[in-house]
Amino acid sequence: MRVLVTGADGFVGQHLVAGLLEEGRQVAAASLTLPPSRTILSPSQMAAVDWKAADVREQDALFRLLAAVQPDRIYHLAGFASGDRARYHAAKAMEVNAGGTVNLCEAILSVREDFPEFDPRVLVMGAGDAYGNAGVEGEPLTEDLSLRPMTTYGMSKAAQEIVAHTYRRAHDIDTAVARGFNLVGPGQETAFVVPDFCEQAAAIAAGEAEPVLRVGNLDAVRDFTDVRDGAEAFRLLMEAETAEGAYNVCSGVGRSVRTLLEWILDEAGIDPEVRVDEELHRGEEVGSIVGDASRLRELTGWQARRDVEESVREVYRWTVSRE
């Protein structure tokens, strides 16, 4: 079983690669730069992977990659993952998330011309943020809702989904979409709320910063899942007998950002001033995004198993260990 992971140097990608190696998969990993600029993989795991340089904005590069690897499974994780970055680079987010998926699908069609038996299953990384304000207050989001994104990031992920479904219908590419909600765990960049809070708290605890922690909207409610549970969901979905359409990957439990901050401060053993920074507020932000993973659970038996509080505390300990 030959497996290709695009965006393998990212937070989710590296945890997915680790899980695939544990399963004994033959893994090719595509990264924008070689060697990857940051890694949480062990030296032995890095050595076990066939690393390839590829930019999803370049269709010819993807064609060469697919022709060389000819994977049976493609986990397409490459793209803009940060809502803040997408907000300030809207056109680039669309180019990478939606356009990159077009390029991947077109590359698959081109490789098929030379190798007619080439028929990989493709898992596209969607996002719960694509739902936007489609839900009804107090009810979890299900896959039968229309996508009504309220952010640039959500817009780019909704467009990416449309690409995946279109190529499935029009060209019989075996695509499925995993709508990941908020994944958390060690190795995530500080562009995301949990590692950002952890880095600030660690600096305060070490006496390297004033006892003031800057935050955005602490009342936002999100559905957090440990990244390793999320990666397991992707692998199970990829191996299901059929996996047409989109599947929520989430815990089904809403937690306020304030709750996560309280866990981090408790782990750090500090009681700083918590100061709201208006620049960190997103005007278009949806108050609550909580999903329902019943469709995925019925297909694969998956459910989130790791305790989210412990996952958040682990991120703090991981942050401190790197200081």
Q: How many structural domains does the chain have?
A: 2
Burial class (CB in 10 A: 0-12, 13-18, 19+), 32: middle
Distances (CA, A) of 23 to 1, 8, 26, 72, 201: 11, 17, 9, 15, 36
145 φψ region: left (φ > 0), alpha (ψ -120 to 50), beta (else): beta
Cα radius of gyration rounded to whole Å, the chain: 19
Mean pLDDT of 180-191: 93
pLDDT value, residue 122 = 98
Whether 178 and 263 map to the same domain: the answer is no
Whether 63 and 198 map to the same domain: the answer is no
Whether 140 and 276 map to the same domain: the answer is no
Mean pLDDT of 123-131: 96
Mean pLDDT of 111-130: 96
Whether 127 and 170 map to the same domain: the answer is yes
pLDDT value, residue 278 = 74
199: closest CA among 264, 151, 130, 142? Answer: 264
Whether 138 and 281 map to the same domain: the answer is no
Paired sense of beta strands 73-76 and 212-215, if any: unpaired
The Cα 200–Cα 102 span in angstroms is 39
Paired sense of beta strands 121-127 and 174-180, if any: parallel
Whether 107 and 244 map to the same domain: the answer is yes
Whether 26 and 37 map to the same domain: the answer is yes
The pTM of the full predicted model, rounded to 2 decimals, is 0.94
Mean pLDDT of 293-322: 96
Quote the domain boundaries for residue 264. Answer: 193-220+254-288+312-322
Report which DSSP code applies to 148: B
Whether 117 and 263 map to the same domain: the answer is no
Whether 174 and 271 map to the same domain: the answer is no
Whether 277 and 170 map to the same domain: the answer is no
pLDDT value, residue 323 = 64
The Cα 130–Cα 179 span in angstroms is 8
Give the CATH number for residue 284. 3.90.25.10
Whether 169 and 207 map to the same domain: the answer is no
Whether 198 and 92 map to the same domain: the answer is no
Residue in this structure with the two tokens 């009342």, named with its chain if needed:
219
157: closest CA among 228, 86, 109? Answer: 86
